[in-house]
Amino acid sequence: MLALLWTGGHPPKVEQDVIDSIKALDGDFSFEVYMSLTCHNCPDVVQALSLMAIFNPKVKTTVIEGGAFQKEVEERQIMAVPMVFLNGEVFASGRMSVEEIVAKLDTGAASRDAAKLNAKDPFDVLIVGGGPAGAAAAVYAARKGIRVGVAAERFGGQVNDTMAIENYISVLETDGPKFAAALEAQVRHYGVDIMNLQRADKLTPAGADGLVQVQMENGATLKAKTVILSTGARWRNVNVPGEQEYKNKGVAYCPHCDGPLFKGKRTAVIGGGNSGIEAAIDLAGIVEHVTVIEFAEQLKADAVLVNKLNSLPNVTVHTNAQTTEITGDGSKVNGIRFKDRATGAEHHVELAGVFVQIGLVPNTEWLKGTVNLSRFGEIEVDAKGHTNVPGVFAAGDCTTVPYKQIVIAAGEGAKAALSAFDHLIRS
Ligand code: FAD
């Protein structure tokens, strides 16, 4: 329907910059995008590629509903949608925005972006990271009437990857993309300069000019009187066959978020550390049965958690066990395969969901040597969000603040913005 409207001249809700970049693409681009009608990641990609075909005659887009063309899907070994082919070769899979697709095609985009960023005046508050923490920081800072920018690799952050959010206070139920769009709308409402698809790779503390510098991957440098770091984290992957294919189709990473989706079903937890055992205890109260798989000879979680786990009737623990595959029926998870490391015997357990709980990795590699990090790589902050670097604050999943959740990240972002404002009025 949108493609029809746009073809008829109805303006798309896309920045003019992006339309100009689409029009400037040179070459022959023949896209085939496989999608399904129930896939929540597909509409963005289908719409993006349709829009590109409408605005640039050199772009051709064919949209294929996988269910109607099963033979084709099998021949091309498509296990997840959306799956995009360009000129017959795999181009991308998973959700992508039109900006991301254009950036992937347009080789001159990075240097043009860098020139635009370099030309910007210094910010009062520059936020690096556009998840819930960064968005809340942006709203709080902008409402003080100061100059605020957000540079983010992918605005919205981790919430983009979830289908159901049911624990953000005052919102009974929403999905990740809707939540991310609402974050962006509120940040834009306050006139914040959003620099999306921009990755920071170095931070330089303020020198004599009092400005902190953030160097970007494309070579640009942004300057600001204060910086808030909110680059979040990513779940550590177990890297076995099936994990990527069945992400969001039974493979989950957040028991607080996705546990209720498995009510009454059988699940597994990979990981016997504190987070894995907490997840197993949490899940045992909701699901029919939990299988815990731990690589080491013993569970590594605190004794009190292990004792609690052992008291539960619907939990089975396998230690010294190596997960070798997450199995599925092509559309969702149907089991987990693991190897007994002592005997070498392979086992397969039938179940509907697998929670990978082998840790979160903070996106802070680029800050090593500049900002104090914990041994887990989290940015050390005090109760007001200060880091050890003057004028640099941090919030959300990238910090030492426990319990990685949206509401907590948003609260911490707000706090960091108020601390940054306090710093500005005192210096
Ligand atoms: P993030 O959301 O991780 O955002 C980080 C931001 O920084 C992103 O914009 C990212 O692109 C950017 N970034 C990273 N590195 C750089 C860099 N070098 N330069 C520039 N930008 C960078 N929590 C709940 O409360 N309820 C739920 O239902 C829920 N469900 C979830 C489901 C899934 C599948 C996942 C993965 C997480 C879920 N969570 C949920 C956890 C929640 O999403 C996080 O706690 C929250 O998003 C953290 O917010 P954040 O802003 O700190 O970081």
pLDDT value, residue 316: 98
The rounded Å distance from CA 181 to ligand 1 centre is: 14
Summarize pLDDT for 180-207 with one digit per residue, the tens.
999 999 999 999 999 999 999 999 999 9
Contact criterion met (CB below 8 Å) for 33 and 66 = no
Among 391, 382, 388, which residue's Cα sits nearest to residue 412?
382
CA distance 353 to 334: 8
Distance (angstroms) between ligand 1 centre and the Cα of 379 equals 15
Provide CB contacts within 8 A for 81, sequence distance 6+. 34, 35, 36, 39, 41, 42, 66, 93
Average pLDDT, whole number, for the chain?
Answer: 93
What is the model's pTM? 0.83
Cβ of 174 closer than 6 Å to ligand 1, yes or no, is no
Is residue 140 within 8 A of residue 418, CB to CB? The reply is yes
Asked if pLDDT for residue 159 goes beyond 70, the answer is yes
pLDDT at 79: 59
Closest approach atom of ligand 1 to CA 151: 20
CB count in 10 Å sphere of residue 316: 12
**CA gap 387, 85 in Å, rounded:** 44
174 φ, ψ to 5°? Answer: -150, 175
Q: Within the chain, how many helices (H) and strands (E) appear?
A: 12, 21
Region of poorest pLDDT, from 137-141, 170-174, 249-253: 249-253
Neighbours of 207 (CB within 10 A): 9
Q: How far is the CA of 141 from the centre of ligand 1 (A)?
A: 20
Distance CA 86, CA 45 (A): 13
385 Cβ closer than 6 Å to some ligand 1 atom: no
Instruction: List the Cα angle 72/78/82 in 5-degree steps.
Output: 105
266 or 274, higher pLDDT: 266
- Strand 59-65 and strand 212-216: the pairing is unpaired
328 sits in which H/E element: strand 321-328
Distance CA 52, CA 106 (A): 13
Higher-pLDDT residue of 235 and 226 is 226
Measured N-to-C along each axis, helices 16-24 and 42-55 cross at an angle, to the nearest 10 degrees, of 60
Distance of CA 321 to CAs 163, 272, 305, Å?
Answer: 31, 11, 20
Q: How far apart are CA 364 and CA 378, in angstroms?
A: 7
Q: 234 C-alpha vs ligand 1 centroid, how far in Å? A: 7
Whether 229 and 379 have beta carbons less than 8 Å apart is answered as: yes
Question: pLDDT per residue over 30-41, tens digit each?
Answer: 999 998 877 777
**Rounded distance between C-alpha atoms, residue 118 and residue 112, angstroms:** 10
Among protein residues, the one whose CA lies closest to atom 41 of ligand 1: 405
Q: What percent of the chain has pLDDT over 70?
A: 99
- Determine whether the shortest distance from the Cβ of 397 to ligand 1 is under 6 A: yes
Per-residue pLDDT tens over the stretch 330-377: 888 999 999 999 999 999 999 999 999 998 899 999 999 999 999 999
Residue 74: φ, ψ to 5°:
-65, -45
